[in-house]
């Protein structure tokens, strides 16, 4: 899932679930980015990853994913 509702974000934080964010996939598919700031402020731990998959992000390099994550995930 690329996007989570407010209810799902709160449930993830309560459960201590680590949200694995895939900003490269959102960019590649032209979808909305995850609300990382909202997750962090709500107490959910987050991680950044690639989604090495020819259909959703054909790269396994973390460098462009991290470069994209900084501006794309910095807002709510």
Q: Is residue 42 part of a domain?
A: yes
Instruction: State the pLDDT at residue 73.
Output: 86
Number of domains in the chain: 1
Q: What pTM, to 2 d.p., does this model score?
A: 0.83
Instruction: State the pLDDT at residue 4.
Output: 84
Q: Is residue 1 part of a domain?
A: no
Q: Is residue 27 part of a domain?
A: yes
Q: Is residue 65 part of a domain?
A: yes
Query: What sign has the CA pseudo-torsion 47, 52, 58, 62?
Result: positive
Q: Is residue 68 part of a domain?
A: yes
Q: What is the domain extent for residue 49?
A: 6-72
What whole-number distance in Å separates Cα of residue 59 and Cα of residue 76? 26
Q: What is the pLDDT of residues 3-48, one digit of tens each?
A: 788 999 999 999 999 999 999 999 999 998 998 999 999 999 999 9
């Amino acid at each position: 899932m690329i996007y989570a509702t407010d209810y799902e974000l709160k449930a993830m934080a309560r459960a201590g679930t680590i949200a694995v964010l895939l900003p490269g996939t959102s960019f590649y598919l032209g979808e909305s980015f995850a609300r990382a700031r909202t997750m962090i402020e709500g107490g959910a731990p987050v991680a950044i990853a690639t989604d090495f998959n020819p259909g959703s992000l054909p790269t396994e390099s973390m460098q462009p994913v991290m470069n994209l994550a900084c501006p794309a995930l910095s807002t709510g």
